[in-house]
Structure 1
Amino acid sequence: MSLDERRPDPDALLALAQQEERRQRGGHLKVFLGAAPGVGKTYAMLEAARVQRAAGTDVVAGVVECHGRVETEALLADLELLPRQSLDYRGQALTEFDLDGALARRPELLLVDELAHSNAPGSRHAKRWQDVQELLARGIDVYTTLNVQHLESLNDVVAGITGIVVRETVPDAVLERADAVELVDLPPEELIVRLREGKVYLPAQAELAREHFFREANLSALRELALRSVAAKVNEQVLTLKEGEAPDAIWRSGERVLACIGPGAGGLRTVRAARRLAAQLKAEWSAIHVETPAHVRLPAAQRSTVVDALRLAEQLGGETVTVSGLSVADEVLAWARARNVTRIVVGKPHRTRWRARLHRSLVDALLRASGDIEIHAVPAAADAPASATSPAPAAPTPWRGYGIAALGVAAATLVCFAMAPFFELANLIMVYLLGVVLVARRGEREPAIFAAVAAVLAFDFFFVPPHLTFAVSDTQYLVIFVVMLLVGLIISQLTVQSREQLAHARLRERRTAALHAHSKALATCRGVDELLTVAVRHIGEVFEAQVLALLPQADGRLLVRAGFHAEFTMNAKEQSVAQWVYDLGRMAGLGTQTLPFVDAVYVPLAGKRGAVGALRVKPADPQRLVLPEQLLLLEAFANQTALALEVDRLQEQARQAQVQIETERLRSSLLSSVSHDLRTPLAAIIGSASSLAELGPTLDAAVQRELALNIHSEAERLSRLIANLLQATRLEAGTLAAAKEPHDLEAVIGAALARLVRALDGREVQTRIAADLPLVPMDALLVEQVLVNLLENALRYTPPDSAIEVEAHAEPGQVVIEVADRGPGLPSTELERVFDKFWRSAGSGQPSGVGLGLAICRGIVELHGGQIRALNRPGGGARFRFTLPLAATAAAPGDRDDG
């Protein structure tokens, strides 16, 4: 298909049609995107909304968060504000955006702030962006705001930059669906000043944010992400519109430079020229190489120049791409138009005049069909030496192919001798053409041409009168000879070309399959050591080589971390080569320009932020590895491995950041809980003790006894609190062991009730213990602690006049113990969370206690190999049910799940 007949990209037309359909049927979405809180997204949204209202648009503010900013509240003052809906959550009244109210009001334009917000339980949708999608589907236009760190695809990147894992995210498809994206930008210095002035957060929050998130380096990096996101969105819209309206036109919305790289001298110079041109224009640039079927027939030295040029383009910061096709010019121009390239840089070869007239050069082809694209021709010059591979041996003369061609023509001649008495000469021509096709099927171009010429000569010599001579009695045979020769040449060339295309397709298929298998293997791994082990094994199998993977230590020196069929040791020379490769990010060793005569190739594991390590690959057959395609494939394997290592490192950093956040949260919870629960008994002890010390002689015996009992009771309470903390620490560390011996469960229950006799004074306790209970293998003191904690929990959260029930019975292989009450019960969402450390139910309105008792219960029960559950009772109340196995099946401390 010619360039003039080129059709628009169907995917682009589909995207354009979908965009047009959304405009006609659905609402329009405009996103005000910022790099961080406080840049003024809400302010910009309100300003834009007021402009729309002045133009006669029906504007309603669905939900707008002013955060106490006076300027923002002033813009909102005279806009219609949609009332929020009230939701009851854990006894608290929460207000959320009223989606049903917005659909009933149905304004032309609705303002919905904070797109990434998570709705309270009970809302129709879990996320606010889902509310927005429903509004758009109902034909309502929406203005909304979003910070770049909330984009799902940037979650890991933001965590790596800031050390904070963002929990509320928005799928990238929401931003891609937006009809308009407006960047609200503010330099980091000004944003930090606003933070200090209290225009972003309250003073206490502002100081904390300044120490962690609002650092100048973090804000600059987030600002770059926001700029790139908006630029990508705008570029996508431009390319989609261009493909639909003018697929062959070049819209100069921004300069883009493309370097066209081919085999032979001049590739490096072309890349350097494209880089200089892009730097002058401050434009993006790329380098493209088109692989044609003839590429596989080129000498290794010429193919090496392509690899060197592509590698240089990557080092200079350009995007590199390799495509396949029959025509270099057509593929280059198709790719350039698809990417809106404005300038193409191509090497201008030195050619003799007669050769230039016979065969049009790539420069001529590009100039004829380039249209609005500028073509920059760079004079060819001798590049620096190409990759110093071992010299490729000269291609042997295909005498065997010529011999087979001669035999093919001879065989066709014998068949024609047998057919000559019975058939016309035209049928004999078909036999010769069949012989030419059979010879050409071997894929050798020169023997195929030889066969076509030999077939014409044999036909003339043996079958055209006068026979056994090349003389021609009738000039009409000359036309037959010419047509026969042309048809034979065309058929042979098409046959050879199809075999070359097949070989080329198989080569690319093998490359793609190998890369796919490598990436699939890496995707299933976790951890640096496992990734490297899988990578070196796969690389070693594909390239039939010994492989070592090296990663840097804290001091920057490389250390062998994984190997395949190789010793984990390297001599000083090998270590220095690997260190050089890692430090400079360039290949060295066999088949390269640096130390080409060593027996291994050293490849950097090049990631986005520089090299993360190096590979040493020692092939069993050096001649096979030094082929340019093999080196390029090895480099692709190394890059995939480096990317997997970087992703794993980012995930580890995110995990550590999450652990740090969780640690801080637990620390804050522990300090707040313990400080309150320590102060209460200490205050009672101090008050009673001071009363005894100061007023003791004047107090009667009953009062003195009451004060002493109060001191004793509060001291016991304090002791239990400290014991819980210590026991929780031992459970967390896995150092608590259960000394199990056969015990009477009824005696253990009685001991637990005796420990709480003062607290249970006046409470009805009903016990139902089966008479046939066997002795249970358990640590009696630990199980007693479980019962004490469950009874204290029932006392704390139930009315004073309600009964507490304790039941025990046997089931196959285990005993079951239940502690039940008739209190308010537990919310269904808390039945599992009540066993988390520092978790205190808010349903009862009594947030007393540290929140460790039930967590300790679960740890002790699981230490015995049992299970514990919280259930609600019919008619009201909670029931805690735990089991103890009758056989010694307790889990090891390291196997427990402490929540």
Structure 2
Amino acid sequence: MDKERPDPDKILRDIEREEEKKSSGRLKIFFGYAAGVGKTYTMLKAAHSLQKNHVDAVIGYLEPHARPETMKMAQGLETVPAKQVDYNGIKLKEMDIDAVLQRCPQVVLVDEYAHTNAEGSRHQKRYQDVEEILKAGISVYTTVNVQHIESMCDIVASITGIFMKERIPDSTFDMADEVQLVDLEPEDLLQRLKEGKVYREEQASRAMDHFFTIEKLTALREIALRRTADRVNLVTERTKKEAGGEYYTEEKILVGISSSPSNSKIIRTAARMAKAFGGLLVGLYVEPPNAEKRGQEDKKRLKENIHLAEQLGAKIETVCGDDIPFLIAEYARNSGISKIVTGRSVPSRSFFHKPTFTDKLAAYAPDIDIYIIPDSKMEKEKQKLRKNMDHTMTIKNMLSAMVCLLLSTVIGFVFYEMKFSDTNIITVYILGVMITAIITSSRTISFLQSAASVVVFNYFFTDPRFSLDTYDPGYPVTFVISFIAALITSNIALKMKTQARELAKLAYRTKIILDTNQLLQNGKTVEEIGNTMAAQLGKVLSHTVVYYGLEEEHLNDPVIYNANGEKDESHYTRLITENEHAVAEWVFKNNKRAGATTATLSEAACYYLAVRSLDAVYGVVGIEIGNREILGAFESNVLMAILSESATVMEREVFRTREEAATEKANSEKLRANLLRSISHDLRTPLTSICGNADMLLQGKLNEDKKEKVYSYIYDDSFWLLNLVENLLSVTRIEEGGMKIKKQADMLEDLIEEALKHISRKSREFVIRVSMEDEMQLVNVDSRLILQVIINIVDNAVKYTPSGGEIVISTKKEKSFVHVQIADHGNGIPDEDKPHIFEMFYTANNEITDSKRSLGLGLALCKSIINAHGGKIMVYDNEPKGAVFDFTVPAEEVEIHE
């Protein structure tokens, strides 16, 4: 059976990935389950082995351990000096990443991979420093414990009771080139602890009472061994997939993303499941109504959870609406999700049992596996969210409700005086409740309005009037039904209003994307596309936007657009400082986001992102973040969508430009090849003739008549060569874009007379007649080039017209152009040749070039010159026989001053 044909795009991606691997450094992690197992010692020992093999290995940063064995092993290795960072009056030492890059060793040792850098450092985390070093082509040896891996910290916390704040993404661990497990029996580790080889005596005693117990260390060791095995399996599966082997990817696991503090635990659990099942992880954020009313703390936590999901390999999706379980179930059903991971909320303790979030989700998605993770904080967060979102009990809303109630009562009195029934009056109150719900968007006020409407109706319109008593025993039932009807009506109105708002937001988002797409498509260059993108971002986000375009692999000077999408650089000098430019340069070089609200160079005034497509960067965009405000989910989604669309359009424009350049280069090569081929063939004949005739003259054996003929032959051949060289030079200038038109006013009659002086001597054998409509006609042309056009066409007519024939040059003005017609009485041009007669290297009748000594350049050159003047050239039959070449040139108007 034939093998399946390889995918060329996949092959290209694999090649690019391999090239990137070759240019970047290699990462080796020394992995352990607890402090003191010997990770740093083993790393230093490996560095000494490298030195013995003449590998340049230095220490980039080493934690100041009080361990004699470790410090002794560090001797003999060059250390890059650490930099000091002032933090609250304390001098802290951190790795000097710039010094490491400047030193540029083959291998650098960086201890404590998960360390959090001091405030003011370039990156928030040390693993980000390592990523930059690796990208510079320097290999890194580093150390990390299992409790510092993102997806493992929840499990470790359940064992040790300690939640690690310093963590690394699972991807940095799984994508390491080599992981060496540094293992030690728990009993041996405890013995080392007792001997003071790990901590000082006081610290060791405290550690043995809490963290360092035989049960905890055994559990941590098991987790570390299992995590190492998982990585081996992952590498094996990845290798199998790259080799084209079978790979199971049917599982799609969805995890809900929210601003809940415990949501990070759910995300990590889902990530571990995705790895275990070898499936894809999707993070879904359901943006509720009025999400913009969330506090900054909630927005920050939501952004952190989204970032955590991205770090763990999740693809982030966003939908809008208030029925979160229904939206999750619908997305899962439409996207082929096989498993949903969510938190478990605490059931309601009210008298009436209310279905929980998970109950609703299970009802909406009965065919999808749902994994519920304990989440005791979810209900509290929901209550907090509802509280935050219902800040509508304001004086304004309460006054609006009172006005609606008052108007309903007034209308009720009118209806009462008109003898309308009680049903009509209670309907007016229900309408008032509905209007109140629409105006205030508050469930609390709607509830109070419903109750107040029943009370007021009872007080004013039921017997006995102006009392809360009733004579009719059926009225209490009426009141209850009216209250329920009013309450249901108000809830329906609120839901419809919320849905209308969400639909409007969705329509606005769609319109933004469509408008931006249309504007970007109209861009003619990458620079124009980038400026359009920046202006659109300014309007959409209502933020000041800084855009750095790209030119020859370097960032251009920034262009600033204000919140109205208008270019404005006068009031924003704070955004174009050296520090801001340095952040933009870092984003461009590293193809990662940085600046305000990020963990890299966070002191910047702007939030910088690369305009990128795969690994290509086409520019850098900075969004000014005032008061460290975090962009909302809606704004972030729109921002990423516009950046992605812009990068796609830029990429297409770059490819189009490259394709045009390649096509132009190919055409130039083709032209050069054709010229060389034609010249090598056609120059030989006249040059041979000139040499032969000159030789006969040198021998002096010719009489006067023969000498005159030989002179004539030499002249004709030389004249033909002169015209050929002139045409070749002109064609070369045109192809290279070097032909410049220098127009000036000239008498057309003078141009024709001058041209006739330079045509072939064979023209004496013909009758050349000039017929001008206006002998004083002025034209606005480059006389040198138009002379060449006339000479080429007349020579062409002489070449193809029998001796004694007539050639007529006539002119006439038509609007702002002058027609110049050159007619002959030769054999004419066949119809099938007319469309190609002005093409380069084309000769009529497909005759070989030797027959008429023509390279097919003259008429092609004429067309280029006339087009450059804004005119047209054509050919048609002459009556009764022959051909007419007709071209137009711009006329020069003469101003008459009285």
TM range (shorter): 0.5 to 0.7
Counterpart of 1:661 (choices 661, 666, 669) is 666
Residues 502-560 of structure 1 deviation map (CA, whole Å, 9 limit, x = unaligned): 22223333333333332222222212332233333333344444332113454655641
Change (3 A) 1:446 1:282: same
Counterpart of 2:613 (choices 587, 594, 607) is 607
Indicate whether 1:360 and 2:355 are aligned. yes
Are the aligned partners of 1:307 and 1:632 in contact in 2 as well (CA < 8 Å)?
no
Residues 772-807 of structure 1 deviation map (CA, whole Å, 9 limit, x = unaligned): 7446667777555433322332354x3756945223
1:351 Cα deviation from its structure 2 partner: 1.8
Q: How does 1:800-879 map to 2 (within 5 A)?
A: 800=802, 803=805, 805-811=807-813, 814=818, 816-828=820-832, 830-831=834-835, 833-841=836-844, 843-844=846-847, 846=849, 848-859=853-864, 861=866, 867-873=872-878, 877-879=882-884
Structure 2: how far apart are the matches of 1:382 and 1:592? 27
- Residue in 2 that maps onto 1:518: 516
Change (3 A) 1:817 1:544: same
Change (3 A) 1:474 1:266: same
Residues 364-400 of structure 1 deviation map (CA, whole Å, 9 limit, x = unaligned): 33334435433344555999xx9xxxxx999475344
1:710 Cα deviation from its structure 2 partner: 3.4
- Residue in 2 that maps onto 1:767: 769
Structure 2: how far apart are the matches of 1:830 and 1:710? 32
Counterpart of 1:721 (choices 724, 727, 744) is 724
Are the aligned partners of 1:607 and 1:646 in contact in 2 as well (CA < 8 Å)?
yes
Change (3 A) 1:719 1:482: same
Are the aligned partners of 1:255 and 1:281 in contact in 2 as well (CA < 8 Å)?
yes
Q: How does 1:453-852 map to 2 (within 5 A)?
A: 453-458=451-456, 478-552=476-550, 554=552, 556=554, 559-561=557-559, 563=561, 564-567=567-570, 570-583=576-589, 587-588=593-594, 600-618=606-624, 626-690=631-695, 696=699, 706-730=709-733, 732-735=737-740, 737=742, 741-742=746-747, 744=749, 748=753, 751-752=756-757, 755-757=759-761, 759-760=762-763, 764-765=766-767, 767=769, 769=771, 773-774=775-776, 783-796=786-799, 798=800, 800=802, 803=805, 805-811=807-813, 814=818, 816-828=820-832, 830-831=834-835, 833-841=836-844, 843-844=846-847, 846=849, 848-852=853-857
Letter paired with 1:716: F
Structure 2: how far apart are the matches of 1:884 and 1:370? 76
Change (3 A) 1:506 1:776: closer
SS in 2 for 1:835: coil
Deviates more, 1:488-497 or 1:285-294: 285-294
- Residue in 2 that maps onto 1:351: 346
Letter paired with 1:261: I
Structure 2: how far apart are the matches of 1:518 and 1:548? 17
User: Percent sequence identity over matched residues?
Assistant: 22
Structure 1: how far apart are the matches of 2:321 and 2:546? 37
Are the aligned partners of 1:825 and 1:877 in contact in 2 as well (CA < 8 Å)?
yes
Structure 1: how far apart are the matches of 2:490 and 2:848? 91
Q: How does 1:231-310 map to 2 (within 5 A)?
A: 254-262=250-258, 264-265=260-261, 277-278=273-274, 283=279, 286-291=282-287, 293=289, 301-302=297-298
Are the aligned partners of 2:797 and 2:807 in contact in 1 as well (CA < 8 Å)?
no
1:260 Cα deviation from its structure 2 partner: 3.7
Aligned residue pairs: how many? Answer: 631
Structure 2: how far apart are the matches of 1:259 and 1:802? 94
SS in 2 for 1:441: helix
SS in 2 for 1:669: helix
Are the aligned partners of 1:547 and 1:565 in contact in 2 as well (CA < 8 Å)?
no
Change (3 A) 1:427 1:770: closer
Q: How does 1:174-193 map to 2 (within 5 A)?
A: none
Structure 1: how far apart are the matches of 2:717 and 2:358? 94
Structure 2: how far apart are the matches of 1:628 and 1:806? 78
Structure 2: how far apart are the matches of 1:381 and 1:552? 50
**Structure 1: any 5+ residue segments left out of the alignment?**
1-31, 40-226, 229-251, 387-391, 890-899
Are the aligned partners of 1:582 and 1:613 in contact in 2 as well (CA < 8 Å)?
yes
Structure 2: how far apart are the matches of 1:627 and 1:747? 74
Change (3 A) 1:333 1:780: closer
SS in 2 for 1:851: coil
**Structure 2: any 5+ residue segments left out of the alignment?**
12-240, 243-247, 382-387, 562-566
1:658 Cα deviation from its structure 2 partner: 1.9
With normalisation by structure 1, the TM-score equals: 0.59
Indicate whether 1:436 and 2:433 are aligned. yes
Structure 2: how far apart are the matches of 1:810 and 1:456? 96
What CA RMSD, in Å, does the superposition of the two structures yield over aligned residues? Answer: 4.7
- Residue in 1 that maps onto 2:334: 338
Structure 1: how far apart are the matches of 2:587 and 2:445? 46
- Residue in 2 that maps onto 1:216: none
Structure 2: how far apart are the matches of 1:447 and 1:851? 89
Change (3 A) 1:557 1:489: same
Structure 2: how far apart are the matches of 1:870 and 1:679? 31
Are the aligned partners of 2:609 and 2:620 in contact in 1 as well (CA < 8 Å)?
yes
SS in 1 for 2:339: strand
Residues 9-42 of structure 1 deviation map (CA, whole Å, 9 limit, x = unaligned): xxxxxxxxxxxxxxxxxxxxxxx998689x9xxx
1:472 Cα deviation from its structure 2 partner: 8.1
Letter paired with 1:686: C
Residues 293-325 of structure 1 deviation map (CA, whole Å, 9 limit, x = unaligned): 475666565466556555666677655443345
SS in 2 for 1:354: coil
Change (3 A) 1:788 1:449: same
1:822 Cα deviation from its structure 2 partner: 2.6
Change (3 A) 1:485 1:746: closer
Change (3 A) 1:802 1:399: same
1:733 Cα deviation from its structure 2 partner: 1.5
Letter paired with 2:544: Q
Structure 1: how far apart are the matches of 2:636 and 2:518? 21
1:446 Cα deviation from its structure 2 partner: 1.0
Letter paired with 2:664: V
Are the aligned partners of 1:256 and 1:285 in contact in 2 as well (CA < 8 Å)?
yes
Change (3 A) 1:649 1:310: farther
SS in 1 for 2:524: coil
Are the aligned partners of 2:287 and 2:633 in contact in 1 as well (CA < 8 Å)?
no
Letter paired with 1:328: I
Q: Which of the pair has the greater relative contact order for Cα pairs under 8 Å at 6+ separation?
A: 1
| Structure number, greater radius of gyration | 2
SS in 1 for 2:637: helix
1:291 Cα deviation from its structure 2 partner: 4.3
Structure 2: how far apart are the matches of 1:493 and 1:393? 16
1:674 Cα deviation from its structure 2 partner: 2.2
Are the aligned partners of 1:590 and 1:601 in contact in 2 as well (CA < 8 Å)?
yes
Are the aligned partners of 1:607 and 1:643 in contact in 2 as well (CA < 8 Å)?
yes
Residues 704-760 of structure 1 deviation map (CA, whole Å, 9 limit, x = unaligned): 6555543443233222221222233455523464676447459727834x7422x45
SS in 1 for 2:342: strand
Change (3 A) 1:304 1:477: farther
Indicate whether 1:370 and 2:365 are aligned. yes
Change (3 A) 1:872 1:376: farther
1:332 Cα deviation from its structure 2 partner: 3.5
